[in-house]
Amino acid sequence: MGGTVRAAMLAATAMILGAGQVQAGAFGLREQSTQAQGLAFAGAASGSGGVSSMFWNPATITMNPGFVAEQNFTYIGLSSEIRPAPGTNPGFARLGGSGELGQGALVPAGATSYQLNDRLWLGLSTGAPFGLVTKPNQVWAGEVYGRSSRIFSLAINPVIGFKVNEWLSIAAGPNIEYFRLTLRQALPVPGLLPTAYPSSFLKGESWGVGFTAGATLTPRDGTVLGIGYRSSVHHDIDGSIGVPLLALAPLAGQVRARLNTPDKLSVGLTQAVSPVA
C-alpha cells in the first residue's frame, strides 16, 4: 500500500502542477480604471484614465494638481463552456462537456495622488492585477485537468513623482503583490469509474515585490506622450497538496512552486485635435 500511496501523491502533484503551467496573460486583469476602459484603454499610459492611469504609467500623477482620489469597481461576467471534440479519450468523452464554467467577479481598483509642491507628488494605487475563477461540472470530460480553479491577487503600489521641467515628468515606486491560488482536479484511481474519481487539491500563497516606473513628455500644449513599465514579480508559492484515497485518511504534503508574473510595457499618446475652450 505504501508504494500505491506514494505513486498517487506523485501523480497528483505532477498533474496539478502541470495544469498550473499556463500563460499568465490568460488571467491578467486590465480593468484598473473605468475611465480608461470607457476609452478602450487608448492613451491610458499618457493620462486618459485620470489618476488611475498610474497603473500603466506612474508619472501621470504629476498631471493631477492638489489631492485626487478615485475608486473603480468593474464586474466581470465570464462565460465559457468546453465541449469534448473528436479524438478525446472515449472513456472521458462520454462524461460530456464542462457546462457553464465561468464565475462572475467584482474587481476593485483605487488610485490616489497628492501634490506636495510644484515639483513633487506622492501616489498610491491598489488593485487586483491577476484573477480567475472557473467551476465546471464536477464530472466532465476534462475533470482530470480541472474541477475548479481560483486565483486571487492584490497589488499595493506607492510611487513618488517628480516634475523635472515643464515638458518632462518621471515617477517610480515598489509594487508589493499578494498571490493566492486554489486548484482542484479529479484523481484517477485504479478500479474506480471516472464518475467516481475523488478530487485532489493544491493550495498556496505568496508575497512578492517588483517595481513600476514611467515618464511623460509634453512637447507642446495638447500633446502628451507617456511610457510606463511594471516589472515582473517573482513568487515562491508555499502551500499544500491533498490527495483523498478512498477509505484512507486524506494525504497532505507541503509543496512550493515558482511563478513569475509577466512584465508590462505601456506606451500612450494623447493629442488634442482642436483648441480646448
CATH of the domain at 187: 2.40.160.60
Furthest C-alpha separation in the chain: 81
pLDDT in tens, 190-235: 888 888 888 888 889 999 999 999 999 999 888 999 999 999 999 9
Count of the separate structural domains present in the chain: 1
Q: Provide, rounded to the nearest whole percent, the portion of the chain with pLDDT above 90.
A: 37
Asked whether the predicted pLDDT for residue 12 surpasses 50, the reply is no
pLDDT in tens, 87-117: 888 888 888 888 888 888 888 899 999 999 9
Query: Mean of the pLDDT values across residues 125-138?
Result: 89
- Asked, for residue 6, whether it belongs to a domain, the answer is yes
Query: Sign of the CA dihedral 11, 15, 17, 18?
Result: positive
- Asked, for residue 200, whether it belongs to a domain, the answer is yes
Does the pTM surpass 0.85? The reply is: no
- Asked, for residue 53, whether it belongs to a domain, the answer is yes
pLDDT in tens, 74-84: 888 878 888 88
- Asked, for residue 277, whether it belongs to a domain, the answer is no
Query: Mean of the pLDDT values across residues 244-249?
Result: 54
Nearest to 151 by CA among 259, 35, 273: 259
Asked whether the predicted pLDDT for residue 129 surpasses 70, the reply is yes
Q: What is the pLDDT of residue 276?
A: 57
- Asked, for residue 118, whether it belongs to a domain, the answer is yes
- Asked, for residue 179, whether it belongs to a domain, the answer is yes
Rounded CA-CA distance 243/258 in Å is 21
Q: What is the pLDDT of residue 155?
A: 95
- Asked, for residue 107, whether it belongs to a domain, the answer is yes
Asked whether the predicted pLDDT for residue 13 surpasses 60, the reply is no
- Asked, for residue 261, whether it belongs to a domain, the answer is yes
Q: What is the pLDDT of residue 171?
A: 97
Asked whether the predicted pLDDT for residue 4 surpasses 70, the reply is no
**Poorest-confidence range of 19-28, 225-234, 257-266?**
19-28
Give the structural domain span for 241.
Answer: 2-271
Q: How many C-beta neighbours within 10 Å does residue 218 have?
A: 20
The top-scoring range by mean pLDDT among 22-26, 224-228, 273-277 is 224-228
Asked whether the predicted pLDDT for residue 262 surpasses 60, the reply is yes
Query: Mean of the pLDDT values across residues 33-62?
Result: 87
Q: What is the pLDDT of residue 275?
A: 65
